[in-house]
C-alpha cells in the first residue's frame, strides 16, 4: 500500500511538471486550428455581411478570396478532425499507461 501511495505521488509530480505544460500547449494548438478552420469556412458569410453593412466597399475580388478561404478552411477543419482524434487516442493511451503503473507496473512482452 505504501508503494502505491508513493507511485501515485510520483506520477502526479511528473505529470504536473513535465506533462501539463506541453499538453496545454497542444490543446491551445488544437483550439487555434479549429478556430482558423471555422473562420475560413465562415468567410463568405462574413464577406456577405460586410458587403451589406458597408455597400461602398464591395468588390468581386473579395468574393473570390472568401471562396478560396472557405476551401482552405474546409481542408484545415478536416485535418484538425484527424489531429484531434489522434491526440484523444494518445491521451487515452497515456492515461491507461499511468493506471497500469499504479496497478503494479507494466508487463513487457
Domain of 83, in residue numbers:
22-97
97 or 32, higher pLDDT: 32
Q: How far apart are CA 63 and CA 47, in angstroms?
A: 7
Q: What's the pLDDT tens digit per position in 14-63?
A: 889 899 999 999 999 999 999 999 999 999 999 999 999 998 888 999 99
Does residue 80 sit within a domain?
A: yes
Determine, yes or no, domain membership for 9.
Answer: no
Our count of domains for the chain comes to: 1
pTM of the model: 0.82
Q: Residues 100-107: contacts with CB within 8 Å, 24+ apart? A: 101/7, 101/11, 102/4, 102/7, 102/8, 102/11
26 within some domain = yes
What integer best gives the mean pLDDT of the chain?
92
For residue 55, being part of any structural domain is answered with yes
Does residue 3 fall inside a structural domain?
Answer: no
Asked whether residue 72 is assigned to any structural domain, the reply reads: yes
Question: What is the average pLDDT across 72-79?
Answer: 98
Amino acid at each position: 500500500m505504501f508503494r502505491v501511495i508513493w507511485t501515485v505521488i510520483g506520477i502526479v509530480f511528473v505529470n504536473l511538471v513535465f506533462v501539463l505544460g506541453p499538453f496545454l500547449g497542444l490543446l491551445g494548438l488544437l483550439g487555434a486550428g479549429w478556430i482558423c478552420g471555422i473562420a475560413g469556412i465562415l468567410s463568405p458569410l462574413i464577406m456577405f455581411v460586410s458587403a451589406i453593412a458597408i455597400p461602398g466597399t464591395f468588390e468581386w475580388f473579395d468574393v473570390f478570396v472568401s471562396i478560396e478561404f472557405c476551401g482552405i478552411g474546409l481542408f484545415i477543419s478536416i485535418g484538425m478532425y484527424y489531429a484531434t482524434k489522434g491526440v484523444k487516442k494518445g491521451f487515452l493511451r497515456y492515461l491507461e499507461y499511468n493506471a497500469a503503473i499504479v496497478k503494479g507496473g507494466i508487463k513487457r512482452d
